[in-house]
Structure 1
Amino acid sequence: MMTTFEKDGHTFQQWRVGASTFTACMTRGARLMSWDVEVAGTRRGVIRWPENADFSNYRKIRGGNPILFPFMGRNYADGKKFFWKNPGDGVVRPMPQHGFAVDGAFEIVEATENSVRAKFLPSADAREGYPFDYEFFVTYRFSELALTCEFELVNRGDVRVPWCAGHHFYFTLPWHAGLTRKDYALKIDAKKFWHHDGDGRLVKADAPKEPITFGDPAICDLIYTKLKTNRVAFGPKNGEENVVVRVGDNEAPSAWTTVVTWSESEDAPFYCVEPWMGAPNSTEHGNGLHFVEPGASEVFKVSVALE
């Protein structure tokens, strides 16, 4: 069931479903903060939230699942960083890294014993930078060893709305005593690999060496596209205790459905595996950019499970 609690002047929501505990701050960024699992008296953090997180710099907290909307990564307009050009009217507007929802206000519109749905409340800056008549919802559904998250963009206006949103899961790594990053393998069937250059261009990258491990510095900030399947798995090399991320419901995603692997440093206690709707800076190059027509809606669904 869902409970709420107060800490340091902030309100949090929590769900206990079997062995799992999910904690969120849905009214600020609709952020799932942590996912912990208790098995045989031991507690494992699947999604990590740092102790003593600095809420005064919420956007920079390295934890949970920041919601990247309406665009993720860095956007450029004719090479100008943190701006985007609307393909509809050609107007250039500001767009911070990862968009406006990361630390934006949300209101909970529905909550049950194993789910929650929240609606984005755009700030003045968000309305200026993304001036459309829309509603954006984030819905989480929890089960004992899995979660799903759906983004829904509803177009209430009379012009089509561009978007290319994503997730920024901070997964605990390593999660076994005595193991290091190199002891964990990533299984992702991708055909194309990229880096995002400092001027906004996508630059082709070499495929990482197989088996891919998190100890390989080449996968930090690597962009994977043309996925053969929507299943991305990672865990110990013996194949047990995998975390499995599924991007969408279609077994074969669209060509520009994207996954990014990133970590802050070689010794950070996390590694991010990030499913995105498309490639970064899609508003400039168009690869993976989505549009919602007037009166229509679109859903982007991601699930994470322990298998």
Structure 2
Amino acid sequence: MTQRSSWIGFVAVCDDKREIQRMGRRDIVIALRGTATCMEWAENLRAQLVPISDPTQKVECGFLSLHKTPGAYVPSLAESVVEEVKRLMEAYKGETLSITITGHSLGAALSLLVADEISSCAPQVPPIAVFSFGGPKVVVNGQDLITRVPGVFLGEGSKQQQQKKHENNGFRKVIDKIDDNNPWAYSHVGTELRVDTKMSPYLKPDADVACCHDLEAYLHLVDGYLSSNCPFRSNAKRSLVKLVHDQRSNMKQLYTHRALTLNLERDRLRVPIPSCLPSPSS
């Protein structure tokens, strides 16, 4: 834990010709980390909604501050990402591009703000997709309490009840005028994929809060996900070594040794891990 950090993520550009051909485009990936500094923890707690450039849209005050505030010698996250995206658009001018933004926890919240920022930073911005983990909200672990705040006690619940009421009456209205003036009336962005720690045969059903919010646990659950009503897939390809190392106390004892043995052996032999994407014939 430090007072300051000079970085919050990175930008990567696909240079694999086979992957570019498979996707039909060159993908730019922007990955943002979770909370790491004391200042960021303090900003996470500044939960009041404030307007952004469009006065009809509001975001959490602390997240917006982390997104927009420059340092003494460095530009803001918003400025840095826009500058880099423009540079890459020029560098690969004439190619078909796409932008994928991802982040965990604080990085999940910031990934949405970054997506909004770059979507209008230049004419003909490439298509943008956001995959966020454990934040406001695309991939959500049902046991992860972090994804339920802020707002769950002070507005979001009432809004969801209003939405259900209106939908039952045949309408799609979500926000009542009362909620427009409520600085705590949060709603979440995007399509939610809800995974569940209890679905994993490796994790204890009473895994602690830290495990439920852990990025490695999320990646493990996504790797084993088939559908909400299907069991954990038996041919999940992600190595469990890091999960066991980080969450040993939350692993079922029956599987701890087995997982370590299988994955350490594979890692030792450097067996290539196949793509998680289905083959054309499957």
* TM-score computed with the length of structure 1 as normaliser: 0.26
Which structure has more strand as a fraction of its residues?
1
Structure with the larger RCO, 1 or 2 (CA within 8 Å, 6+ apart): 1
* TM-score computed with the length of structure 2 as normaliser: 0.27
Which structure has more helix as a fraction of its residues?
2
Query: Bigger radius of gyration, 1 or 2?
Result: 2
